Amino acid sequence: MTHPSHPAAGLIRPVRQSSLCVGLLLLLGALMLASLNFGYVDIDQSDLIRAAFGLSDPSTNMIVQQLRMPRMLLAVMVGMSLGASGAVLQGLLHNPLAEPGTLGITGAASLGAVIAIYFGFAATTPLSLPLFAMTSAGIATLLLLFVARDNGRTLTLILLGVGISGVSVALTSLAMNLSPNPWAVSEIAMWLLGSVRDRTFQEVNLAAPFILIGLIMLMACAPSLDILSLGEDSARSLGLRVGRLRILAIGGTSLAVGAGVAVSGSVGFVGLMMPHLIRPLVGHIPSRLILPSAIGGGALVLAADIVVRLIAVGPELQLGVLTSLIGTPFFIYLVISLRKRMA
Amino acid sequence: MTCLTLTNVHVPIGSRTVLRDISFRASGGEFIGLVGPNGAGKSTLAKALASLLPTSSGSININGQCLTQFSPKDSAKNIAYLAQGDIVHWPLSARSIVALGRRPHIDAFGSPSRADQAAVDRAMQRAFVGEFTDRDVTQLSGGERARVLLARALAVEAPIFIADEPVGALDPRHGLNIMALLREEANRGVLVITVIHDLALATRYCDRLIALRDGELADDGPPHQVLSPRGMAAHYAVEGHHAAHDGQAFVLPWRPL
């Protein structure tokens, strides 16, 4: 019997998926407004909404549209990608610890992006940044699935993730080590910590199409993941085309996570935490987990990005640092609560 | 009535041919047990029948149509498959598990119709799991979970039902219950084929046994013929204890030869 005994299993009554999504969307909306509200300049609430549509005075319009909107949108996009891919990967691999970060997909995407920056492709062709990140994320995901086919055990996959992350970190360090320009090194280092600060609509436009397609592909995995909870043989006997599901899941994860990492660096553990928090609310049904996890992921990253702006600690805390600070203890807690089934 | 025909079927796994030259005919209403020692190819045959493994030569036909011509969905509607073991990867409710059996009848993003709901109710009733509706299957006992998974396969309402060792890990009471349920399915006209190691249950409940040895069909006939003293020696290298109770013959493996 392999299943994650969720700490809250049986204690929390499932709620309707539609009410859950509406609730999460309201939360996300409130956080979006709050995100636009925070910054060096105080802007009146009513002015804020007018400025978002370009109807306020030119300087307020610029602050809201050029500085705060891209940051807010990127946080939402990146969070949605991570939440949805975490939910799909956990369902696909029957693995409660699966998420882009723990499986090394985020690390691989970062390596791809660093390669694009290091060799100067990103400077000449901005599109190469997400393309390199997505390709590398895709290679990592394919490798994981190849191993999962023969041995999908939780420990094996997580260890493989550690391996992929290790290789990515080693090669990223190599690039930084060999870099002739110290400014480039510090830029790569800061970028790797994960942030949506000082981004423009150029980054939003670069990532949005890929993230959108990725999210659609991830959502399309939903019905198949339910059948897959019976194991692959039973799922196939119920008419599931496993190959098609894998393509959707790998493709969706690579596009969404790769494009997100390309513009925000690595923001960890959102894909791990969100599905776990949502799962008992949807009766553990994998198909009902993806959309709420995506919306919740967007809200979580946005909230984290608001918090980093509120904590005044000299230089602004990087977003990825904060999510790791929260996410790592969560990961350890999950490992401990699942340890009996990990053997 | 459903008619299943295998003609010179060969099934490879990787580079090894696990099943060779298997031919037999079976029709609706029969309850067939696949018997034979470990590694004889019983589970492989069950998977090939459920079109989970491709054949390298020969053909499997259902009512004259080759299985390879079926779309995954059509194949799923015609053949219910109950896998070995009791894998459920998430703590889902018993009813949501049984409802998965209706998936072949529903569009990818559609929701179950009233008829589907009724089929789920029927399957749960037949497998005596109605009381577990909202219970988390991972919290049920092994025997109860086995019945829920059986109900999941019954909910497909397919004319052919393939089960891979459905009583392998169950206590005697649950084992008897499951065999009685499968017998009842056969009585209702379903072709039931099950991999089985418990020879006492096989002789009692099945109409016909197919014995496999080293990937080949070694014998095919009524239980008393296939598991005769000679059969027991040939298929299992054991001496059997043949007896009867309540007018029903059964055989127990007695000592290795």
pLDDT at residue A320 tops 60:
yes
Q: Please, which pLDDT band fits residue B26 given cuts at 50, 70 and 90?
A: very high
pLDDT at residue B171 tops 50:
yes
Higher pLDDT residue, B42 or A310?
B42
CB-nearest partner of A233 from B83, B97, B139:
B83
Do the chains contact at A234 and B139, CB–CB below 8 Å? no
Interatomic CA distance for residues B46 and B43, integer angstroms: 5
pLDDT at residue A108 tops 90:
yes
Q: How many Cα atoms within 13 Å fall on the side-chain side of residue A62?
A: 2
pLDDT at residue A150 tops 70:
no
Tell me what the mean pLDDT of segment B164-182 comes to: 90
Q: Is B169 on the interface with A (CB under 8 A)?
A: no
Share of chain A above pLDDT 90, in %: 42
- The model's pLDDT over B198-228, given as tens digits with 9 standing for 90+, comes to 999 999 999 999 999 999 999 999 999 999 9
pLDDT at residue A343 tops 80:
no
The two tokens of residue A107 are: 């690390």
pLDDT at residue A116 tops 60:
yes
Do the chains contact at B89 and A233, CB–CB below 8 Å? no
Q: Is A187 on the interface with B (CB under 8 A)?
A: no
Do the chains contact at A240 and B72, CB–CB below 8 Å? yes
Q: Please, which pLDDT band fits residue A3 given cuts at 50, 70 and 90?
A: very low
Domains of chain A and any CATH numbers: 68-342 (1.10.3470.10)
Do the chains contact at B103 and A229, CB–CB below 8 Å? no
Read off φ and ψ for residue B221, nearest 5 degrees.
175, -170
pLDDT at residue A57 tops 90:
no
**Chain A residues near residue B109 by CB distance under 8 angstroms:** 222-223
User: Which residue intervals of A151-200 are DSSP H helices?
Assistant: 154-178, 182-192
Which residue of A234, A279, A284, A288 to mutate against B (max B Cβ within 10 Å)?
A234
Pick from A118, A35, A107: nearest CA to A77:
A35
pLDDT at residue B128 tops 70:
yes
Q: Which amino acid is at B201?
A: L
Q: Which helix (H) or strand (E) holds A338?
A: helix A319-342
pLDDT at residue A17 tops 90:
no
Question: What is the separation of C-alpha A254 from the centre of its chain, rounded to a whole number of angstroms?
Answer: 11
Higher pLDDT residue, A66 or A299?
A299
Beta-carbon contacts below 8 Å between A and B:
98
Do the chains contact at A3 and B91, CB–CB below 8 Å? yes
CA distances A296 to A38, A102, A123, A270, A308, Å, are 21, 19, 34, 9, 18
Q: What is the pLDDT of residue A8?
A: 41
Pick from A309, A330, A313: nearest CA to A68:
A309
- The model's pLDDT over A29-49, given as tens digits with 9 standing for 90+, comes to 999 999 998 877 788 878 888
Pick from A54, A312, A304, A254: nearest CA to A135:
A254
HEC per residue, chain B: CCEEEEEEEEEEECCEEEEEEEEEEEECCCEEEEECCCCCCHHHHHHHHCCCCCCCEEEEEECCEEHHHCCHHHHHHHEEEECCCCCCCCCCEHHHHHHHHHHHHCCCCCCCCHHHHHHHHHHHHHCCCHHHCCCEHHHCCHHHHHHHHHHHHHCCCCCEEEEECCCCCCCHHHHHHHHHHHHHHHHCCCEEEEECCCHHHHHHHCCEEEEEECCEEEEEECHHHHCCHHHHHHHHCEEEEEEEECCEEEEEEEEEC
Tell me what the mean pLDDT of segment A182-210 comes to: 86
Which residue is it, tokens 């999962």?
Answer: A148
Q: Which helix (H) or strand (E) holds A66?
A: none
The DSSP letter of residue A68 is I
Q: What is the pLDDT of residue B229?
A: 94
Q: Which amino acid is at B66?
A: C
**Chain A residues near residue B157 by CB distance under 8 angstroms:** none
Question: What is the separation of C-alpha A219 from the centre of its chain, rounded to a whole number of angstroms?
Answer: 15
pLDDT at residue A291 tops 60:
yes
Domains of chain B and any CATH numbers: 3-256 (3.40.50.300)
Strands B160-164 vs B3-13: parallel, antiparallel or unpaired: unpaired
Tell me what the mean pLDDT of segment A250-261 comes to: 91
C-alpha angle A38-A41-A46 in degrees, rounded to nearest 5: 70
Q: What is the pLDDT of residue B206?
A: 95
Q: What is the pLDDT of residue A6?
A: 43
- The model's pLDDT over B91-107, given as tens digits with 9 standing for 90+, comes to 999 999 999 999 999 98
Over chain A, what is the mean pLDDT? 86
pLDDT at residue A298 tops 90:
yes
CB-nearest partner of B50 from A3, A237, A286:
A237
Higher pLDDT residue, A122 or A32?
A32
CB-nearest partner of A229 from B86, B89, B136:
B89
pLDDT at residue A1 tops 60:
no
Q: What is the pLDDT of residue B235?
A: 94
Share of chain B above pLDDT 90, in %: 82
**Chain A residues near residue B101 by CB distance under 8 angstroms:** 238
pLDDT at residue A265 tops 80:
yes
Q: Is A283 on the interface with B (CB under 8 A)?
A: yes
CB-nearest partner of B72 from A5, A231, A239:
A239
The DSSP letter of residue A99 is -
Over chain B, what is the mean pLDDT? 93
pLDDT at residue B152 tops 90:
yes
